[in-house]
Chains A and B, each alone.
Chain A
Amino acid sequence: MDRVIFGDNQFFGVDHLSDDKARQKEQRFKDTREIIRVLDFAHEAGIRTFMCTTYGRIEEICEHFRNNPAKYADFKIYPCMPYAHKYANAVTEMGIGGTLRHFTGGVMGSIARGGMAVVQRDAFKMMQMLVDAEMSMFKGVNTGVIFLQNVVTDLLLGLGMHDFFYEFSEYVQKKYDAEPGYITMNLPRTVDVLHGLGIENPIVCASINKIGFRMSGGLEANEQALAEQKVRAIAMQVYAAGALRPQEALEYICPQQGIESIMFGASSKDHIEQTYELINSLSPEA
């Protein structure tokens, strides 16, 4: 994976500290062309990976990539699935059974009638169908790593339904020739569980920052896991939702062992370029 990965929160009205800022961003990026303009800034700055949740609007971005193959030949998109709000609202409305039927409906159409009953006895098959449904929009786009979103990773982790991690890993490798990634707010625990499943050097994306924000189990346990366990970590929320200034935040992150990649999101050309250069200059062997 690249040292620097571009995130997507800024595009979709997510701001962990301020609702007002989130809405300002949401307004600015209402037009997908504006998102593409910012992605182009990132690309020009030297960034080659964009990590994004599978919102409906990503489809338009993928379409743009497909229509301009020469320009984006070296640009990868790492999908993070599923977009949880979509499913959470559906579960409240339709129940869990209804939601599964609803979202696998399109895929089910291609399977013989009565297939639902068969699939319902095999949740791994169900998961594969959901992955396919989410991946359909990325057709023809370079997706090197496919991530399980933290709500799902952490839910399965808590429930002890760990076999899904293994099945997910097998499926994305076989079907999409991609590596599996796991986003989590519980890094030490997740790494332990993945090792236990024989996933030896897992890609794990987690909140990692100097003040221990959203680092379950505490800063020390997380640092220890990064230093001592075999893990390819992607650090997210490195600014602790804006509580840390970039220089201070990155001085802490860049020399940390176990961190292969650093994710950040930004909206202006200057900010993107400065952050990219700062990460490179603070990283060992830069």
Chain B
Amino acid sequence: MIKAGVIGLGKMGISHCAILNAHAGVEFVGACDTSKLLRWGLGKYSKLPVFDDYKKMIEQARPDCVFIATPTSSHFEIARYCLEQGVNLFLEKPCCLNYADTSTLRELSESKGLLIQVGYHNRFLGTFREVKRLVDAGEFGEIYHFSAEAYGPVVVQEQKETWRSKRSEGGGCLYDYASHVINLVDFILGDIEHVRGTQLKSIFSKGVEDAVYAGLILKNGTTGNLSVSWSEESFRKMSTRIAISGRKGRVEANAQEIKVYRNKSENPEDKAGWALSYLTDCTEPVDFYLRGEEYSAQVDDFVRQVEAGTRQSVNAIQSAGETDRVIELLIADSGRGN
């Protein structure tokens, strides 16, 4: 049994509270937010202990781990404090607003022997995990190109100013939709080393980009296109896709399905052509379901790691934190830094 708390009660924070509170291996020791309304709601209608100050929560509740789901601009300060207090972290994505801060957190966690896991839930989605397995197993031979996309309808008309319209607060498509896709490329295909021809386009937003288009070059030489927009009204909800071409075949996948094409080969035993598989073929059941198996699965994995004192998470900052480095590359390449 481990003790867990949550800092920041927005959409992700509340969702983590529910999953943790329903988790058989977790004692839920505190939910923290600056909003009076939220503290009142949780305090009055649930049995969860509530706090108005995260330092107080850590001092009084002594959690083994906390989930940080505050606006990105506050991640660094809160995360550093928690690490100094010896607390393991589940950090919502992206880690920080600059790679230097992310690196500081990573180093601090390593010196303290603590885990920081980042909330890029695509790494726990059955279809994308299966794609990674197939790529690693060499099913498509040497990979030479990929295309990674995400589209959805977050900002589809001009809006008044919110935190979403300020990059300094973590607003913009790059920190949001695009970070997920960058992280997914890193997960399935490897480290991104260079970026080229980056377009950060404002479509409806004033201060930030609504779309990110770029060429990516991986350390292993593979090239690919990144194409992301949250201003696509034509999509009902966020839809993430990756297509990968190798010398022996091709794979196209999204959250629901995987289409594999195997090239004809000299070996007549090989089955050439298209093969389809679905989420239902590669999804493990969870004990408690809230918004998708992947949200529960990432929490399960984190809880297991903390319980065992290990840091082998697929989304540990050592790997997931590299997304912040790529985001900086994209901003620099676009000439739209501020």
Cβ of B19 within 8 Å of any chain A Cβ, yes or no, is yes
Given A97-B35, A158-B21, answer yes or no on A186-B45 (Cβ-Cβ < 8 Å).
Answer: no
Closest to A97 in B: B37
Closest to B296 in A: A216
Total interface residues on B, using CB and 8 Å?
Answer: 44
Q: Which of A193-228 contact B (CB under 8 A)?
A: 211-218
**Contact in complex: A17, B278 (CB < 8 Å):** yes
**Contact in complex: B285, A16 (CB < 8 Å):** no
Cβ of B164 within 8 Å of any chain A Cβ, yes or no, is yes
Cβ of A241 within 8 Å of any chain B Cβ, yes or no, is yes
**Contact in complex: A217, B11 (CB < 8 Å):** no
The listed residue (A18, A96, A155, A160) touching B47 by CB distance below 8 A is A160
Shortest CB-to-CB span from A19 to chain B, Å, is: 6
Shortest CB-to-CB span from A285 to chain B, Å, is: 32
Cβ of B100 within 8 Å of any chain A Cβ, yes or no, is no
The listed residue (A18, A93, A121, A160) touching B257 by CB distance below 8 A is A18
The listed residue (A18, A158, A240) touching B288 by CB distance below 8 A is A158
**Contact in complex: B35, A95 (CB < 8 Å):** yes
Shortest CB-to-CB span from B251 to chain A, Å, is: 16
**Contact in complex: A159, B42 (CB < 8 Å):** yes
* A97: chain B residues within 8 A (beta carbon): 35, 37-38
Cβ of A273 within 8 Å of any chain B Cβ, yes or no, is no
Shortest CB-to-CB span from B48 to chain A, Å, is: 7
Q: Which of B224-279 contact A (CB under 8 A)?
A: 236-237, 239, 241, 254, 256-257, 278-279
**Contact in complex: B14, A159 (CB < 8 Å):** yes
**Contact in complex: B45, A161 (CB < 8 Å):** yes
**Contact in complex: A216, B286 (CB < 8 Å):** yes
Cβ of A58 within 8 Å of any chain B Cβ, yes or no, is no
* A22: chain B residues within 8 A (beta carbon): 236
**Contact in complex: B285, A216 (CB < 8 Å):** yes
* B21: chain A residues within 8 A (beta carbon): 158-160
Q: Which of B21-44 contact A (CB under 8 A)?
A: 21-22, 35, 37-38, 40-42, 44
Identify which of A18, A88, A163 gathers the most chain B CB atoms within 10 Å of its CB.
Answer: A18
The listed residue (A19, A123, A243) touching B41 by CB distance below 8 A is A123
* A214: chain B residues within 8 A (beta carbon): 289
Given A18-B257, A123-B45, A215-B285, answer yes or no on A241-B14 (Cβ-Cβ < 8 Å).
Answer: no
* B288: chain A residues within 8 A (beta carbon): 154, 158, 186, 189, 216-217
Shortest CB-to-CB span from B234 to chain A, Å, is: 8
* B291: chain A residues within 8 A (beta carbon): 151
**Contact in complex: A216, B289 (CB < 8 Å):** yes
Query: Measured between alpha carbons, how far is A243 from B289 in the docked complex, in Å?
Result: 20
Given A16-B279, A163-B45, A213-B283, 12 other A-B residues pairs in contact with their CB atoms under 8 A: A17-B278, A18-B256, A19-B257, A88-B11, A92-B11, A120-B37, A123-B44, A159-B18, A159-B42, A160-B47, A185-B290, A241-B278
Shortest Cβ-Cβ A-B pairs, 10 listed = A158-B18, A185-B289, A243-B280, A158-B22, A216-B289, A13-B236, A161-B45, A161-B46, A97-B37, A159-B18
